[in-house]
């Protein structure tokens, strides 16, 4: 009897730890697009629960044998080694080290999202946060509600770039779930998606949101109706973009700014006035830096000092961020680091083919748009986008089987 009570007590304690971890995991998905402070707190608490909680064997299995671990930890190790030979200052090294180590959280987060139910609730929690953002953005713009005043147009909790991307991803997730909902819930969800699309093109100036929406729409059309879907969605996308250009002052202004940026760049000497032009300049300079140290790069946190060294005694725009994750990785950790990063993305795409249909579409869209976003911004360097990638990767790939033993194949002679 005493032994039975101990067993029951032990199971209850395990259940308490699991429940706590699941609540924090769902909370992280909700607060990530809303609050930097709450994100930091929840990540810290999840780490503590992971360290102090039970199921050590399961945690070690995920940490060392999950299909993504073999690509994540080489990047983490290379980031640590890069500190040794870096030419960066202490602050730059510390920040870049933190950004690189963040990827190591993915196997830890995977532990908390193994339950399909918890993973799905977390995605709905993220979408709920964006619905809240949407509601407050309408109040801010159309009712002069005093919120998010430090952000332009429809930004509430985060900048227009972050908010536009997250809003597009939330709309995409809701769209992927339409077939699983009842008719009444489907109609409500469609209405919310329409409001999100309106927000993207009429209330937010983040160009990454426009690109993400179009890419995800084409992907969804392919997933549902293959070639016919792609052709139809391509036509609808062109009509929608043309309509937005002639009816939305926000969208048309952002498109016109692209042309202006190119003009500034070609005029030369006006890089401070050109977002696109400065990115082109950063790309050219990054290529030169990679050519000088192609294998292991200039070291963790070295981009700013290396860039300044390249343009020493020249009157040009200096930066510590090329606004391109692939370039940043190549400069700091060399082509070796870039290979590991691309290998991680490839492994995710390969594994996504094995995911259940109800989550596969969203996970592939998340991966494709994040890879595209890394061409336009150094997203693994950014706090919110970096944690978003870790969070969504953990949610999407938590259900992957973990092989801990080698399979022995016996041949039979006939």
Q: Please give the pLDDT value at position 387.
A: 96
Domain positions in the chain are 117-267
From first to last of the 414 residues of the chain, give the pLDDT tens digit: 554 444 445 555 567 888 899 999 999 999 999 999 999 999 999 999 999 998 899 999 999 999 999 999 999 999 999 999 999 889 999 999 999 999 999 999 999 999 999 999 999 999 999 999 999 999 999 988 888 777 778 888 998 899 999 999 999 999 999 988 899 999 999 999 999 999 999 999 888 999 999 999 999 999 888 889 889 999 999 999 999 999 998 999 888 888 787 777 666 655 555 677 778 888 889 999 999 999 999 999 999 999 988 888 777 778 888 999 999 999 999 999 999 999 999 999 999 999 988 889 999 999 999 999 999 899 999 999 999 999 999 999 998 887 654 443 443 333
Q: Please give the pLDDT value at position 225.
A: 87
Q: What's the residue count for the chain?
A: 414
d(CA 20, CA 302): 39
Q: Provide the token pair at 338.
A: 């870039």
Cα→Cα distances 28→43, 235, 237, 331, 384, Å: 7, 38, 33, 32, 12
Q: Provide the token pair at 295.
A: 């294998």
Q: Please give the pLDDT value at position 316.
A: 74
Q: Please give the pLDDT value at position 335.
A: 95
191: left (phi over 0), alpha (psi -120 to 50) or beta: alpha
Q: At what angle do helices 207-247 and 183-202 cross, to 10 degrees?
A: 80
Is the CB of residue 381 less than 8 Å from the CB of residue 96? Answer: yes
Q: Please give the pLDDT value at position 261.
A: 75
d(CA 91, CA 26): 33
Count Cβ neighbours within 10 Å for each residue of 42-73 and write b for 16 or more, e otherwise: bbebbeebbeebeeeeebebbbeebbbbebbb
Cα→Cα distances 352→63, 74, 113, 397, Å: 19, 21, 16, 8
Count Cβ neighbours within 10 Å for each residue of 161-197 and write b for 16 or more, e otherwise: bbbbbbbbbbbbbbbbbeeeeeeeeeeebeebbebbb
Q: Provide the token pair at 158.
A: 């985060």
Q: Which of 370, 396, 387 is nearest to 44 (CA)?
A: 387
Q: Please give the pLDDT value at position 144.
A: 85
204: left (phi over 0), alpha (psi -120 to 50) or beta: beta
* pTM for the model: 0.91
């Amino acid at each position: 009897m005493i032994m039975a009570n101990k067993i029951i007590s032990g199971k209850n304690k395990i259940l308490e730890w699991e429940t706590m971890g699941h609540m924090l995991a769902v909370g992280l998905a909700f607060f990530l697009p809303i609050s930097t402070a709450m994100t930091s707190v929840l990540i810290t608490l999840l780490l503590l629960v992971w360290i102090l909680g039970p199921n050590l064997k399961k945690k070690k299995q995920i940490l060392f044998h999950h299909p993504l671990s073999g690509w994540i930890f080489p990047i983490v190790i290379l980031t640590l080694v890069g500190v040794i030979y870096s030419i960066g200052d202490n602050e730059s090294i510390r920040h870049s080290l933190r950004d690189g180590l963040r990827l190591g959280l993915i196997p830890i987060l995977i532990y908390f999202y193994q339950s399909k139910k918890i993973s799905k609730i977390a995605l709905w929690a993220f979408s709920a946060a964006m619905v809240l953002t949407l509601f407050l953005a309408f109040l801010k713009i159309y009712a002069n509600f005093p919120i998010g005043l430090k952000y332009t147009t429809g930004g509430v909790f985060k900048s227009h770039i972050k908010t536009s991307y997250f809003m597009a991803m939330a709309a995409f997730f809701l769209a992927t779930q339409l077939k699983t909902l009842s008719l009444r819930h489907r109609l409500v969800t469609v209405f919310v998606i329409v409001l999100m699309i309106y927000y993207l093109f009429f209330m937010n100036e983040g160009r990454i949101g426009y690109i993400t929406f179009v890419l995800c729409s084409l992907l969804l059309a392919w997933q549902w109706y293959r070639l016919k879907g792609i052709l139809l969605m391509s036509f609808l996308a062109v009509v929608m973009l043309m309509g937005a250009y002639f009816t939305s002052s926000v969208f048309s202004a952002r498109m016109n700014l692209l042309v202006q940026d190119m003009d500034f760049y070609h005029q030369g000497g006006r890089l401070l006035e050109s977002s696109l032009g400065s990115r082109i300049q950063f790309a050219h300079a990054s290529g030169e830096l990679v050519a000088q140290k192609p294998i292991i790069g200039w070291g963790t946190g070295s981009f700013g000092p290396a860039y300044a060294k390249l343009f020493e005694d020249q009157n040009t725009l200096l930066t510590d961020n090329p606004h391109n994750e692939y370039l940043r990785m190549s400069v700091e950790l060399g082509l070796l680091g870039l290979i590991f990063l691309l290998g991680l993305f490839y492994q995710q795409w390969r594994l996504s083919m094995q995911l259940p249909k109800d989550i596969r579409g969203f996970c592939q869209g998340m991966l494709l748009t994040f890879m595209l976003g890394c061409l336009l911004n150094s997203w693994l360097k950014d706090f919110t986008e970096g944690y978003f990638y870790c969070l969504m990767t953990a949610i999407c790939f938590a259900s992957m089987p973990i092989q801990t033993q080698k399979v022995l194949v016996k041949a039979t002679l006939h």
